[in-house]
């Protein structure tokens, strides 16, 4: 048998598979980089991370361990469980925990490899630095635009009812319609959101400098297929 791996390493893997999972088998810094399927889970977690997530050192112990935190607003039902699920799917060897905060729940997982998986990690706030996707991330997002948009809107987005007053001859009339808003301070992340909506065929516009609005009836209906008021 010629695998290029020596016998004692093979024995170690066989007897301690958990070691392999938690340490060596990083999907990105392994000899030939890959990502676990389904890539849709990665696209969704990338959206959540870019929207409202952060990576920081896990603490005093091991300097190489990083903590990924995603802030999940209580307003999206099911989001916390979905976030826990995709974190586990991408780093199956690492524990996932939650911490209740005011109006939101932090979903947390520690791994040495979050910076490999999210190379957008860096010092300071996201809107103060350049956020660009690497070619392998772009490939995944292009193949799973709906999941990426879902992650972005679930973390930094909002789906609500907009009320508009129409001035008629006799009296004013109020109209209500659902719309999506995605608010973010990073121009790069706004650009990624806009490109993804273009890819999905969802009409959008900037309603403010830092907010993307999806308000046309057919555009809202299209985005509902991927994001949805609830799921």
Among 11-19, 25-33, 34-42, 49-57, the segment contacting Zn ion (CB under 5 A):
25-33
Q: What's the CA gap between 66 and 87, in Å, rounded? A: 14
25, 66, 72, 113: residue in contact with Zn ion (rule CB under 5 A): 113
Among 22-30, 55-63, 88-96, 190-198, the segment contacting Zn ion (CB under 5 A):
22-30
Rounded to a whole number of angstroms, the minimum distance from the CB of residue 29 to Zn ion is 3
121 contributes a contact to Zn ion by CB under 5 A? no
Binding residues for Zn ion, rule CB under 5 A, total: 5
54, 73, 116, 142: residue in contact with Zn ion (rule CB under 5 A): 116
Encoded tokens for 218: 């057919």
12, 20, 21, 26: residue in contact with Zn ion (rule CB under 5 A): 26
Nearer CB in complex with Zn ion: 26/131: 26
Dihedral (CA of 176, 178, 179, 180) sign: positive
91 contributes a contact to Zn ion by CB under 5 A? no
29 contributes a contact to Zn ion by CB under 5 A? yes
3-state secondary structure the chain: CCCCCCHHHHHHHHHCHHHHHHHHCCCCCCCCCCCCCCHHHHHHHHHHHHHHEEEEECCCCCCCCEEEEEEEECCCCCHHHHHHHHHHHHCCCCCEEEEEECCEEEEEEEECCHHHHCCCCCCCCHHHCCCCCCHHHHHHHHHCHHHHHHHHHHHHEEEEEEEEEEECCCCEEEEEEEEEEEECCCHHHHHHHHHHHHHHCCCCEEEECCEEEECCHHHHHHHHCCCCCCC
Rounded to a whole number of angstroms, the minimum distance from the CB of residue 28 to Zn ion is 5
21 contributes a contact to Zn ion by CB under 5 A? no
Encoded tokens for 128: 């103060």
Among 36-44, 66-74, 109-117, 145-153, the segment contacting Zn ion (CB under 5 A):
109-117
State the residue number with the nearest CB to Zn ion.
Answer: 26
Q: What's the CA gap between 79 and 227, in Å, rounded? A: 11
Rounded to a whole number of angstroms, the minimum distance from the CB of residue 92 to Zn ion is 14
Rounded to a whole number of angstroms, the minimum distance from the CB of residue 208 to Zn ion is 38
35 contributes a contact to Zn ion by CB under 5 A? no
Among 9-17, 38-46, 108-116, 183-191, the segment contacting Zn ion (CB under 5 A):
108-116
Binding site for Zn ion (CB under 5 A): 26, 28-29, 113, 116
């Amino acid at each position: 048998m010629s695998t290029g791996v020596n016998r004692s390493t093979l024995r170690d893997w066989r007897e301690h598979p958990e070691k392999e999972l938690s340490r060596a088998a990083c999907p990105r810094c392994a000899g030939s980089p890959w990502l676990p399927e389904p890539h849709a889970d990665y696209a969704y977690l990338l959206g959540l991370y870019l929207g409202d997530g952060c990576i920081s050192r896990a603490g005093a112990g091991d300097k190489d361990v990083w903590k990924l935190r995603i802030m999940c607003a209580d307003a999206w039902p099911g989001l916390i469980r979905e976030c826990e699920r995709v974190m586990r799917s991408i780093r199956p060897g690492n524990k996932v925990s939650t911490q209740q905060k005011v109006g939101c729940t932090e979903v947390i997982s520690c791994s040495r490899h979050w910076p490999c998986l999210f190379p957008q990690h860096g010092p300071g706030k996201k809107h103060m630095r350049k956020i660009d996707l690497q070619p392998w991330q772009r490939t995944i997002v292009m193949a799973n635009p709906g999941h990426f948009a879902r992650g972005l809107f679930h973390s930094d987005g909002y789906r609500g009812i907009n009320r508009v007053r129409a001035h008629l001859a006799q009296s004013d009339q109020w109209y209500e319609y659902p719309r999506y808003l995605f608010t973010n301070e990073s121009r790069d992340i706004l650009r990624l959101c806009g490109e993804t909506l273009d890819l999905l065929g969802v009409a959008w516009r900037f309603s403010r400098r830092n907010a993307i609005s999806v308000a046309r009836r057919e555009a809202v209906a299209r985005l509902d297929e991927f994001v949805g008021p609830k799921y």
